[in-house]
Amino acid sequence: DAGVIQSPRHEVTEMGQEVTLRCKPISGHDYLFWYRQTMMRGLELLIYFNNNVPIDDSGMPEDRFSAKMPNASFSTLKIQPSEPRDSAVYFCASSPEGAMNTEAFFGQGTRLTVV
């Protein structure tokens, strides 16, 4: 398997523009997670899905952020409008069904820079 695939790897956009980050989880995995990594706040969970259904979105910073999972093989994280403080590395991870200590597999991340 190719692992979790995220695109783009790097994104530079101007403040106010819409940004869409994409993720393809590992085939057969039932859980999908979006994390954000910054120097100030470390790794934060934004939202996660189980069987394409959002389970917990309490980490989504504000209404400018939205995430969807239209099918088992694709998810998007959208920021509209983007702001400089959204600059971060965004990770997608997926995990199979199983015991609670089943690990998550991470993509390589999307480095977002909002200027």
Partner 1 sequence: AQSVTQLGSHVSVSEGALVLLRCNYSSSVPPYLFWYVQYPNQGLQLLLKYTSAATLVKGINGFEAEFKKSETSFHLTKPSAHMSDAAEYFCAVSDGRRALTFGSGTRLQVQP
Give the residues lining the site for partner 1 (CB under 8 A). Answer: 4, 31, 33, 42-43, 45, 48, 50, 55-56, 91, 93, 95, 100-109
Which of residues 79 and 109 has its CB atom nearest to partner 1 in the complex? 109
d(CA 105, CA 20): 21
Residues in CB range of 21: below 8 A, 6 or more apart: 6, 7, 8, 11, 76, 77, 78, 90, 92, 110, 112
Distance in Å, CB of 88 to partner 1, minimum: 14
Nearer to partner 1, 82 or 94 (CB): 94
Most distant pair of Cα atoms in the chain: their distance? 43
Q: Which is nearer to partner 1, 50 or 76 (CB)?
A: 50
Distance CA 43, CA 35 (A): 6
Nearest approach in angstroms of CB 81 to partner 1 is 27
Is the CB of 81 or the CB of 105 nearer to partner 1? 105
For the bound state, the minimum distance from the C-beta of residue 78 to partner 1, rounded and expressed in Å, comes to 20
Quote the CA–CA distance of 8 and 109 in Å, as a whole number: 8
Least separation in angstroms between CB 71 and partner 1: 20
Q: Read off φ and ψ for residue 86, nearest 5 degrees.
A: -80, -10
